[in-house]
Amino acid sequence: MDDIKQLLTYLQGDTSSDKLQEAKIQFKKLKDEELKILVQPIDKMHWDHAADVLIEIGYPRVHKILPDLLEWLMDINWPGANRISEFLVSIREPLIPSIKEALKSEDMIWKYWIIECVLIKWSVDLVEQITDELIFVASEFDDEEVHLSALKLLVQYKMLESEESLNLINSKLQDIRNRDIFDELNELKAMVLNGNPTID
């Protein structure tokens, strides 16, 4: 374990390329269940290289740590988060159970980044498997406007019948808390009525 701790220090941003390559070789020898040690190790100065190592190890080896990798998106500004999000997009269907759980959480920022960095990049057939969770998020109210991101995705991918979409939009239009997004909701409503799912 001491060797692993030493190798983790080699993931720091200013480590020589020789030491970094040595660490990568050794990390790739870890058992799949040991890979969690690479998820946001030590401190943020090590996260960029840790993300690179995990991406190089790749799927399916990272299958057991998919929920942990998804947690990296709790703040897209964290080092390595953008690359991890792109990696997660490529994993596709095996990630769905972890996303379903995350969308049930109370962390609105995390839900926002999952929708904006993963789900909008997926095809309709994948996103449709998360319809119930997206409807739940879209039905909520939050200051981060995650409900609006979920609603846009539902409308864009035509995952609801027009009447169901309109009912959801109209209920939000009647809610005084939604006045600041009144124009966006009306734009969504017009798109549903016109049958045009294109969202800017």
Give 134-189 pLDDT, tens digit per residue: 999 999 988 889 999 999 999 999 999 999 999 999 988 888 676 778 888 989 99
CA distance 85 to 106: 20
Give 122: exposed, middle or buried? Use CB within 10 Å, 0-12, 13-18, 19+: buried
Q: pLDDT by residue (tens digit) across 9-32?
A: 999 989 999 999 999 999 999 999
- pTM here is 0.90
- pLDDT for residue 155: 95
